Amino acid sequence: MFNSWFNAKQKYIRSMSLHLECPAVYDAHEGLCHLSTALPKSLLLQRLEVRMLLTGLGTHHGGLERDKELMLRCLRMFLRGGLSKGKVELLVLHLPEAMKAIVEGDKQGDVTIWENVDCQFEPDDGFVNDDNRPEEEAPESGDENHGLYIFPTQGDF
């Protein structure tokens, strides 16, 4: 469903923001796999933002270190398979703070796979408090496009 809708509207869409809420790393792997297959082969975006909310990082079998390794493998799979060159100019990944050291280390080891990826690390609960951020000025015209928010239901992905 998402794929056919996206193909019809693709020429109007330049950026997307997706939120993947995953109670466990295994859910994150499944979510990234579904996202990889849902993104059309003809995808051309200027910016794709993916926020990974990993509420169960380190709470299941194997502990935090094992979960971080599995999550890194999931991310690498997504970067290699789901986002081949030319699909997205800039990928912004929002990841839990616990992933910072392992991701930064991997960036040093394999620069090419992380080339057009901006990683932003958030508190491990996945919540970012934007209350202290200064308000942006209102647009000069009232016809500014703020984008389209899609909230997939069961079965869309």
Per-residue confidence in pLDDT tens, the chain, 157 aa: 566 766 677 777 778 788 888 777 778 878 887 777 777 666 677 888 888 888 777 665 668 888 888 889 888 888 887 666 557 888 899 998 988 999 999 999 888 889 889 999 988 654 343 444 445 554 454 445 555 555 555 554 4
| DSSP single-letter state for residue 121 | E
Pairing of strands 45-54, 88-96: parallel
Distances (CA, A) of 138 to 134, 141, 144, 146, 148: 12, 8, 10, 12, 19
Dist CA 9 CA 127 (whole Å): 31
6-50 pLDDT, tens per residue? 667 777 777 878 888 877 777 887 888 777 777 766 667 788 888
Number of residues that this document lists for the chain: 157
Query: Could you tell me the pTM of the whole model?
Result: 0.68
